Structure 1
Amino acid sequence: MKLRSKLHYFDRITGLPNRQYLYKYFSKNISEFIVILLDIDDFKYANGTFGHKFGDKYLKAFSIKLSKILGEEGDVFFHNGDEFLIFLPKLELEMIDSRIESLLKKLQDSFKVEGREIYNSVSMGVYITKENDSIDDAIRKAEAAMYIAKRKGKGQYRYFDENVEKDIMKKIIMVNELRKAITRNELYLLYQPVLDIKENKILEVEALLRWKNGELGEVSPVDFIPIAEETGLIREIGYWVIRKACNQVKKWENENINLKVAINISPNQFDDKDFFYNVKNIVTREKVDFSKIKFEITETQILKLEKRNMKRLIELTKMGAVISLDDFGVGYSSLKNLAFFPVSELKIDKSFIDHININKKIEKLISSILFVAYKMGYKVTAEGVERKEQLDKLLEYGCNKIQGYYIGKPMTESDIIEILQRSTII
């Protein structure tokens, strides 16, 4: 093959045959193959952290490893970005599962790039071609299955079937409807009470986003928030939530109700270079004291913060805003995070609370988290408290605050007022 022709048919970085090669030499006999679209999970994070040159070397090393694993058993092509196409000859379904699971396991092993040890996982979509399939349709269906696998938690694979097709159509409709949700006034907030145990009072609530659409009905946050994240709509929606929460704080103030409101901040919002500037403007414009606002962020988010954003986060705390470390214990938990990051509160994840009176080791871990947090002057909220025996154990450990169905489900503003009027909560 002449050099010019070779450059046309092979990817410059990975050295693998590309889509042009695929269309020229495989399009006529596509029905003889199983098509797999493979995506490297979190490649963009490594690329953004260490730079594009590192990213190119990462892709090269990965493609070499992938080719070696496949050997003569299949063909691999560079598709796009951090995606690869694999063509396997048709096999019995059990053998396909075995082959793919073996591939997943081998690709999860670490390898070195520029002296750095890289641990990666991959998500794969699998399509078993039919007689009259076009190559574009086969790739599209494999890609659709891959996105479903990624949404289910990454590091896994999914076959294309009718349910995947339905999921795609549902997602398309949801994206279109979500774009109009703010202007149609379809979004609203519920508030889940947080009990201050010492005071035996509700002194704060967590604002929780909900969506009721004319066509789709009540849409679960589990379904629409990942789509908002993926499409970038979460930024606009996030600012709407902050404005709405500030409006509610001001309204309660006018009614002589003193409540702090906690707001969850999405990782995507932190990527917005104007985020801290916009937050400051919203809170100031709504004439709300920063001390009435709490921002809940996860450990994963705070670890990825750039220095300039860390400084801005510190500025928010200087204005009086509280930063709470959400889902503590399930991310990259480290005592160092408590010492160096500008947080003053922790939320112990529900997955720990669920094991109270079931797992003694988990109980000791909860007790230890509380002990260290209090020594450092932090307040702690236990979320997901649903049973009295959980509450009793947390009272025994001296936990500051409790949140969960035992205290109250997410509720409307009028329901919050009703619960505030009770003489005792527990």
Structure 2
Amino acid sequence: MHDAANDPPRCLQLGSGPLQLLNQLQQDEERLAMLKEAIDLLPIAAGITISDRDGKIVYVNQAEAEMHGYACGELVGRPARVLAPEGNGPGRRINQRTAGLWKREGLNARKDGKIFPVQLTSLPIRNAGGDYLGMLTACEDMTQKKLCEQQLETLAYYDSVTKLPNRALLMDRLHQALALAQRERRELALLFLDLDNFKDLNSSRGHEVGDKFLQQVATRLAGCLCESNTLARLGGDEFVIVINPVRGEEGVAATAARLQALFAEPFLIDGEEIYGSTSIGIALFPEDGRDVESLLRSADAALYQAKSGGKAGYQFFSQEMNQVNMRRVALENGMRQGLARGEFYLYFQPQWDLKSLRLTGAEALLRWHSAEFGLVGPDEFIPIAESCGFIFDLGDLVLREACLHAVQWDAFFPGLKVAVNISGRQFRQPDFLETVACVIEETGVRPSSLELEFTESVIMERAEKNIHALQALKNMGVRLSIDDFGTGYSSLNYLKHFPIDAIKIDRSFIAELVTDSDDAAIAEAIISMAHSLKLKVIAEGVESDAQLDFLVERCCDEAQGFYFAPPMPGEDFTGYVKRFAAPDDASKPLSVAG
């Protein structure tokens, strides 16, 4: 509603003298016409309303009238509250002596009665003597912004296929549930569900059938659980259930049996009956873990045992299963020895500009070839390094080596950037900023050649504090980006304040965007939102012409993936860079970029 607040007296001053507006705001047509003309010439899209001391509208601009579905003449002379929804009451009473600048969000009503969100900024009009003459209010339609925030909220917390809570929301609820169970000294159960042979279904029937199967599974599972329980999809064919409270181990076993019984009846998809089954791993709090991480590990170990036993069964975690974790311990020890033996090295995957068709940089990817275990994938050793603190040593290695390579390439391909992933534990280190500054100085890398990538969850964990840290990095001249965008949580309110240069669309959305309308919509929304915030967009995992065409048509800025080239050792990438650094070969059609 268009009114004012009791804020410090900041106001729009009008001149004194014979043309005082105190008693002549409506009578002095010449002065009012000048004010109208000035407002109409302002290069803004906001609606403007001027009301007199009695709250009656004496002027509206065209934008304000159209926003509310009126002609300008229909509003002049009417109370300003006509723009507020019915039933809102008289609104906030204006203290004409102390009224000042007032910004707020609210709801306005169009002529047809439709309610829509607005942001209002009101400023009192006074003469030189300080007498209150009326109120000028700027109105901005927030419909699209609110819709975008709602879409990002859904994207952040809910799985796009099943509409169930995703990993981010699960972790939040699980932390809360464990805290409550600990205070009340009671048990809690965590169930890991894995759909047996789902990958075979996906490959034989296609992802569309697979998604419909997942949706029906989610519906059946949800119908079997109480409101106090949490059902979430982690991704792929994995679901997690938090049972709270627990009625003993027998009660949990009965629930697991009921869940498996749900698969006895076939799933009807596109007129065809499809059968499925699930394996379940169960961990209990506090016996099998006293924190989220240990409880998840125990449930995962139990699930592995359940699937090893022939599938379509359930298994409680037991201490004997710790043998399954022996490899984890061995890998942790092997990493420390491997670093000393030089077993860790970098691969680089090229990144291409989709507009200029030029090579722009590469992402540095850590690899480990162990003398004892052979080639160990980063998906296996990085989480171990994170949990045991070895990530700091690996992080320093990656940052330093990437910078040294960047210096080498800068000699014959100036401006080439190298992206380095920064883990949450690295970023939270008190001396992280100092470490980055030292590496830049010691290696001599051009700061603009270095891009640091952070996941959404990492920078949002302590958003207020992280803004300052990110700004400090930005002041060093380093580029910043958000990695795996769309898989975590980002608040628009914070996102617009982070001094980042780009966001990377997670490969999970790129993989199926040609055949999955939800993934396509998400990718398109991310590109549009990022560009509205003046951020570049980099797509990960591009592997086909169809994916590339989709991204080019939506004006995605850069991309990387096997379509262009697989990750390669530093020496090979040097040759790759030299190929496209040649004066007569500076840019290539993307079809031969790899």
Letter of the aligned partner of 1:243 in structure 2? Answer: R
Alpha carbons 1:125, 1:144 under 8 Å: kept: no
1:147 matched to 2:294? The reply is no
Could you tell me which residue of structure 2 aligns to residue 107 of structure 1? none
1:414 matched to 2:558? The reply is no
Which of 359, 377, 380 is the equivalent residue of 1:202?
359
Could you tell me which residue of structure 1 aligns to residue 222 of structure 2? none
Structure 2 CA distance for partners of 1:94 and 1:405, relative to 1, 3 Å: same
Could you tell me which residue of structure 1 aligns to residue 532 of structure 2? 375
Could you tell me which residue of structure 1 aligns to residue 446 of structure 2? 289
C-alpha displacement of 1:355: 2.2
What pairs up with 1:105-120 in 2 under 5 angstroms? none
Alpha carbons 2:288, 2:298 under 8 Å: kept: no
1:249-308 Cα offsets, whole Å, 9 max, x none, are: 122234556421000011111221111111111112211121111111111111113644
What residue ranges of structure 1 are gaps of 5+ in the alignment? 1-39, 48-54, 70-83, 102-122, 127-137
C-alpha displacement of 1:425: 4.5
Could you tell me which residue of structure 2 aligns to residue 330 of structure 1? 487
Could you tell me which residue of structure 2 aligns to residue 233 of structure 1? 390
Following the alignment from structure 1 to structure 2, what is the Cα–Cα distance between the partners of residues 382 and 57?
Answer: 40
What pairs up with 1:102-251 in 2 under 5 angstroms? 124-125=282-283, 147-149=297-299, 159-160=316-317, 164-251=321-408
Could you tell me which residue of structure 2 aligns to residue 97 of structure 1? 256
1:172-213 Cα offsets, whole Å, 9 max, x none, are: 110111122221111100001011112212111000011011
Structure 2 CA distance for partners of 1:229 and 1:99, relative to 1, 3 Å: farther
Alpha carbons 1:252, 1:258 under 8 Å: kept: no
Alpha carbons 2:354, 2:558 under 8 Å: kept: yes
Secondary structure of the corresponding residue to residue 200 of structure 1 = coil
Secondary structure of the corresponding residue to residue 568 of structure 2 = coil
Letter of the aligned partner of 2:569 in structure 1? Answer: T
Alpha carbons 1:196, 1:401 under 8 Å: kept: yes
Alpha carbons 1:145, 1:164 under 8 Å: kept: no
Of the two, which has the highest radius of gyration?
Answer: 2
Secondary structure of the corresponding residue to residue 296 of structure 1 = strand
C-alpha displacement of 1:145: 8.3
What pairs up with 1:5-16 in 2 under 5 angstroms? none
Alpha carbons 1:190, 1:411 under 8 Å: kept: yes
Structure 2 CA distance for partners of 1:328 and 1:96, relative to 1, 3 Å: closer
Letter of the aligned partner of 1:176 in structure 2? Answer: N
Letter of the aligned partner of 1:341 in structure 2? Answer: F
Could you tell me which residue of structure 1 aligns to residue 76 of structure 2? none
Structure 2 CA distance for partners of 1:45 and 1:278, relative to 1, 3 Å: farther
1:231-253 Cα offsets, whole Å, 9 max, x none, are: 11111211111111111112223
Following the alignment from structure 1 to structure 2, what is the Cα–Cα distance between the partners of residues 375 and 90?
Answer: 54
What pairs up with 1:351-390 in 2 under 5 angstroms? 351-390=508-547
1:80-116 Cα offsets, whole Å, 9 max, x none, are: xxxx9x995779x964733899xxxxxxxxxxxxxxx
What residue ranges of structure 2 are gaps of 5+ in the alignment? 1-169, 190-225, 227-243, 261-280, 307-313
Structure 2 CA distance for partners of 1:309 and 1:365, relative to 1, 3 Å: closer
Alpha carbons 2:299, 2:317 under 8 Å: kept: no
Alpha carbons 2:302, 2:315 under 8 Å: kept: no
Letter of the aligned partner of 1:401 in structure 2? Answer: E
Following the alignment from structure 2 to structure 1, what is the Cα–Cα distance between the partners of residues 380 and 512?
Answer: 27
Alpha carbons 2:486, 2:506 under 8 Å: kept: yes
Letter of the aligned partner of 2:574 in structure 1? Answer: I
Secondary structure of the corresponding residue to residue 385 of structure 1 = coil
Could you tell me which residue of structure 1 aligns to residue 183 of structure 2? 60
Alpha carbons 1:385, 1:405 under 8 Å: kept: yes
The percentage of aligned residue pairs carrying the same residue is 32
C-alpha displacement of 1:405: 0.8
Following the alignment from structure 2 to structure 1, what is the Cα–Cα distance between the partners of residues 331 and 188?
Answer: 38
What pairs up with 1:252-401 in 2 under 5 angstroms? 252-256=409-413, 258-305=415-462, 307-401=464-558
Query: Higher helix fraction: Structure 1 or Structure 2?
Result: 1
TM-score w.r.t. the length of structure 1 is: 0.67
Secondary structure of the corresponding residue to residue 362 of structure 2 = strand
TM-score w.r.t. the length of structure 2 is: 0.49
C-alpha displacement of 1:216: 0.3
Structure 2 CA distance for partners of 1:251 and 1:164, relative to 1, 3 Å: farther
Q: Kindly indicate whether structure 1 or structure 2 has the higher relative contact order, using CA contacts under 8 Å at least 6 residues apart.
A: 1
C-alpha displacement of 1:356: 2.0
Following the alignment from structure 1 to structure 2, what is the Cα–Cα distance between the partners of residues 348 and 196?
Answer: 15
Following the alignment from structure 1 to structure 2, what is the Cα–Cα distance between the partners of residues 236 and 44?
Answer: 30
Letter of the aligned partner of 1:63 in structure 2? Answer: R
